[in-house]
Structure 1
Amino acid sequence: MTQVSSARIPLRQIMAVLLTAALTLSLSVVLTVTSSKEAAASCSASRFSGTWRSSDARLKRIDLWQGEDCHLYAKAWSVCENDSSHICSWGTRRTGDSPEPNFQFVGYNWSNADEVLQLRMRDTSHISVWDSTDYHNGQKVSFTVMMYKSG
């Protein structure tokens, strides 16, 4: 006589396995979201972050902030070509990575020139910015602007 065993799994066991799988999945989602938030929060705050101003029309203001990716971003401003009563934005750029934490690069490519700003923190409320512009016709212009933190 041959005995046939039926491999029946009780409904309770199936429900327990499904519940365990669902809890494990939701816990892994919570841990992933929490880890991402903690990673973003663990970016060391940049001493450069804030609004920097100067009295030089060629570089009136630079806004610096730390992005969610922990990189520093910049938006430079100068007096508008057509209206000297306003300042115009150069656009937003990510600063270049530098081996020195006290030194940042911001590059802009124009239709007629390539411009690089090199920021060096003097103290927590002053930076010097060296602006170097290489025009496509071969002309080179550079100057340094002292800026103070205003925000």
Structure 2
Amino acid sequence: MTHVFSACRRLRRIMVLFVTAALTLSLSVTLTLTSAKHASASCAAGGFEGRWRSSDDRLSRIDVWPGEDCRLYAKAWSTCENNSTRDCSWGARPKELQATPDRNFRFFSYNWNNADEVLQVTLRDSAHLSVWDHTEYTSGRNVSFTVWMVKD
């Protein structure tokens, strides 16, 4: 009888140990995920993030969002040539929005087969951006224009 009682006690201790380990692991995962979510939210406090729209077909939209690495990423869009009710992305991959000493000024660029294009983004206020788009073609021709955008 003592042997059975001793085995039950050992089994109960092992079960308590496993339950404690499982609860500790679960709490650790929860805290890690919560911390990551708060860290991600804290990097999104720059004012640039969001969907920005203009009435200019050449640059109809810019999307800006924070990555998991707390860097800002952007994607430019133009009105589609074959369907003016849609926006067409400038590329499949997002571009990093480069920081500058001026907190309200950022830029990103695209390299095409016949040109290099830089978009300089200036945050005017919480609802307005201005974007200076400058394209240098391999032929030597340069084209620049400015677009005013509003937060969608």
TM range (shorter): 0.7 to 0.9
Matches within 5 A, 1:117-132: 117-132=119-134
| Aligned AA (2:117) | E
| Paired-residue identity, % | 58
CA distance in 2, matches of 1:14, 1:149: 62
Q: Which residue of 2 aligns with 1:74?
A: 74
For the Cα contact (< 8 Å) 2:54–2:150, is it kept in 1?
A: no
Alignment of 1:57 onto 2:57: yes
User: Could you list the runs of 5+ residues in structure 2 that have no partner in the other structure?
Assistant: 1-5
User: Could you list the runs of 5+ residues in structure 1 that have no partner in the other structure?
Assistant: 1-7
Alignment of 1:45 onto 2:45: yes
- Higher radius of gyration, 1 or 2: 1
CA spacing shift, 1:55–1:31, aligned 2, 3 Å: closer
Provide the TM-score with structure 1 as the length reference.
0.72
Aligned residues: 142
SS of corresponding position for 1:138: coil
For the Cα contact (< 8 Å) 2:50–2:151, is it kept in 1?
A: yes
Q: Which residue of 1 aligns with 2:149?
A: 148
Range with greater deviation from structure 2 (113-122 or 56-65) = 56-65
**Runs of 4+ off more than 4 Å:** none
CA spacing shift, 1:17–1:109, aligned 2, 3 Å: same
For the Cα contact (< 8 Å) 1:45–1:66, is it kept in 2?
A: no
Deviation at 1:108, TM superposition (A): 0.9
The structure in which a higher percent of residues are helix is: 2
CA spacing shift, 1:79–1:17, aligned 2, 3 Å: closer
